Structure 1
Amino acid sequence: MNFIGFLKIVKQSNIPKAVTVFQKHKPSSLVNANPFNSFPAHYSSSSYVEQFKSIFPNASLFNVAPQRAASSTNKSRGKRSKRIEISVPEPPKHPMGAYQLFFVDNYDKIKTTFEAELEEKAPPTQIMTHIGKMWRALPESEAKVYKERSKELSEKYKAEKAAWKENLTPLQEEVIRQQKVDQNEARKERKLKKMFKETDKPERPKRVTAINLMELEDFDTLEEYEDTDDAQDKVKKRFTKYVQARSEKWKSLPNEEKLALKEIASEQNKTAELNYHNRLAEWALSMYDENNLDIVTKEEAKIIVHQLGIPKRRRSALQIFLMSDLGKEKGATVSTAKTIFDGLSSVQREDFNNQSTKDKERYEQEFKEWMDDLKGRALGTYAEAILKKSRAVNTNKKVKVKSSKAKKSKTKKEKSKKKGKKGEANKTE
């Protein structure tokens, strides 16, 4: 959706008022800002301005000459287009409860008397525990005073919160909603990270490159620099010098040594990946035993399924043709295979279809043997759960397609029955 389409949708939400509120409450740094500078350059052309004025004829705020789009030669890489900044007023603070009011009023007094009894400085946790005991031992008549104060503050907060919500523009409400969504997502990520740490989830290993396997014997990492440089600058200079020395040495190596280092790096990566897959399978099995398989992702489930030794899935006639000698002779690719396959003779297509049917029978037989073997090792239900998770989206799509086809076939049958009944009725008449 382009910007003008967006404006047409939000017109019903009183967008001119929202823009006017923004102009009144915007930061001082944006006082002399051109409103069109806040939008991407290609939305500031004359055609977009005319469309904008046709949508909002009373928006005199935007009667400013639009900014021209910069030419492609003058565009600097990495710069993002400026966006309008929506300032949101601070919401009223939540009121304090009865215990919090008691804590604030009596903290200093209780602290001095408590430390005087102990004849030493008490830690904050010990003081807070003592205040909690005093609150629980407080007479009901004294506690009632703090509860009434808390109730008054709560009513005042509700009134201020209602007034704050009424003064919000639709854009500000959308900003607040998005902030809540972002906070919830960040909270979920923190919770998942904590859960992964508690359950000892294995981390994917970092890939080793051949250039990192070289040894720089002549490089001195402890070289001293000028005293004016701070510690961070020294680290940056050392790292820059190390990268330059490593790059120069790699260029000077003969091809035989480069190939040998690449083979070593490849073997190390394969071994690390295999160990990771084994540890991941053990971790997923422990999560299944704890009824916590939801934290296993679809990609991880696919790795575990292959780790369990699932047989290769059957190939379609088109896939067999694409990998066959005939497909290579015809120059078939993924994008052109279907067209070339349809142009083959019926005998050739039938041959590939027969191969696909045999491959399907092979897959079904191997899959049945694989599941029987897992059931014999008491892993049948675990394998079914992991397999279902690895194919969750695909199976759902297939079910929807099947259900829609079934509905269409039912409606066709019902229509044909109705037509037949109408024809019989006409004949009898």
Structure 2
Amino acid sequence: MARAQQLLGRFCRRCCFPAGGSAEKGLSRGISSDKPPKRPLTAYFRFMKENRSVFRQKNPEVTTMELIKKIADAWKELPASQKQVYEESRKTDWERYKEQLAAYKAQLTPAQAAALKEERRKRLAKRSLFRAKRELTVLGKPKRPRSGFNIFVSENFQESEGISPTAKLKQLFDAWRKMSSSQQQPYLQLAEDDKVRYVNEMKSWEAKMVELGREDLIRSTTQMPKPKTAKTAKKAETAQASSHENKAKLKLKKTEE
């Protein structure tokens, strides 16, 4: 299902919304008045674009995701000779694309070319970070512990007043600040318990990563949060809650502006 969603997203960006579908166009926004060439579709997406309407007519009752899966299954069963036709078209278009892209870059000023390069670097870095996070999710890395303020928000968000999420968050932010230490203590204790949960789960998870040969995913022991004494726990939680409050306050301020 995740693969189908990924395919659907890529298909929509490149086929259904061609005006803004190419990566280079997004990167060059504001850099040049001339439109850069669009990247050619892969062999599979050519097959999808060419046959999507036919599959839809044959399967009017299925959802979009189910339709994508049917097309993907049809592509897998397609003979290699027929797949080669789509691949040859891709190669032809790719060669033309490279020529057009070179011509486009040649008409850019040095500053525009540098800006285009920097935007591409940022995009690739963002994509790399996304893939790394997705891999950790697939590998079952434990969720980080929540602060007392976060637990308070999650437990009271639905019942809080306000139409918009921002209004609800503002109300909870104000309510948390007005709470006494004794009123905040149950949430701070839950946060401490969550830290213990996180430490224990991380130990098990990292042991599993060692067995899988993924020592590169293991953090240094100095980075692991350690259970605190009762005296230091409240001080640390108060500081962490204050940090979350400040972030929420800054977010609200930007929204109001």
Q: TM-score, normalised by structure 2?
A: 0.52
Check if 1:302 corresponds to 2:214.
Answer: no
Structure 1 CA distance, aligned partners of 2:83 and 2:123? 41
1:180 is matched with which residue? Answer: 120
2:163 is matched with which residue? Answer: 232
Check if 1:153 corresponds to 2:93.
Answer: yes
Displacement of 1:198: 2.0
Higher helix share: 2
Check if 1:205 corresponds to 2:167.
Answer: no
Higher relative contact order (CA 8 A, sep 6+): 2
Out of 107, 130, 133, which is 1:167 matched to?
107
Out of 208, 215, 227, which is 1:293 matched to?
215
**Paired residues for 1:184-333 under 5 Å:** 184-208=124-148, 221=159, 232-233=163-164, 250=179, 258=180, 260-261=182-183, 267-298=189-220, 301-303=221-223
- Per the alignment, in what secondary structure is the counterpart of residue 232 of structure 1? coil
Displacement of 1:92: 1.4
Displacement of 1:179: 1.9
Displacement of 1:292: 0.8
Check if 1:95 corresponds to 2:26.
Answer: no
Displacement of 1:203: 2.3
List per-residue Cα deviations over 1:141-169 (Å, max 9, x = no partner). xx5xx777555534432321221222122
Residues 199 and 226 in structure 2, CA contact (< 8 A), matched pair in contact too: no
Displacement of 1:274: 3.0
Give the residue type in structure 2 aligned to 1:126: K
Give the residue type in structure 2 aligned to 1:202: P
Give the residue type in structure 2 aligned to 1:206: R
List per-residue Cα deviations over 1:79-98 (Å, max 9, x = no partner). xxxxxx95144431233566
Structure 2 CA distance, aligned partners of 1:139 and 1:266? 60
Structure 1 CA distance, aligned partners of 2:128 and 2:172? 40
**Paired residues for 1:338-353 under 5 Å:** none
Give the residue type in structure 2 aligned to 1:161: L
Displacement of 1:200: 2.0
Aligned residues: 189
Classify 1:94/1:277 alpha carbon distance in 2 versus 1 (closer, same or farther; 3 Å). Answer: same
Structure 1 CA distance, aligned partners of 2:171 and 2:187? 24
Displacement of 1:281: 2.0
Classify 1:196/1:125 alpha carbon distance in 2 versus 1 (closer, same or farther; 3 Å). Answer: closer
Structure 2 CA distance, aligned partners of 1:179 and 1:154? 22
Residues 205 and 273 in structure 1, CA contact (< 8 A), matched pair in contact too: yes
Give the superposed CA RMSD.
4.6
Residues 48 and 71 in structure 2, CA contact (< 8 A), matched pair in contact too: no
Give the residue type in structure 2 aligned to 1:280: M
Structure 1 CA distance, aligned partners of 2:140 and 2:31? 43
Give the residue type in structure 1 aligned to 2:31: S
List per-residue Cα deviations over 1:382-416 (Å, max 9, x = no partner). xxxxxxxxxxxxxxxxxxxxxxxxxxxxxxxxxxx
Structure 1 CA distance, aligned partners of 2:43 and 2:205? 47
Residues 97 and 150 in structure 1, CA contact (< 8 A), matched pair in contact too: yes
Give the residue type in structure 2 aligned to 1:91: P
Structure 2: give runs of 5+ residues left out of the alignment. 1-28, 228-257
- Structure showing greater radius of gyration is 1
Structure 1 CA distance, aligned partners of 2:140 and 2:69? 31
Displacement of 1:278: 2.3
Displacement of 1:129: 4.1
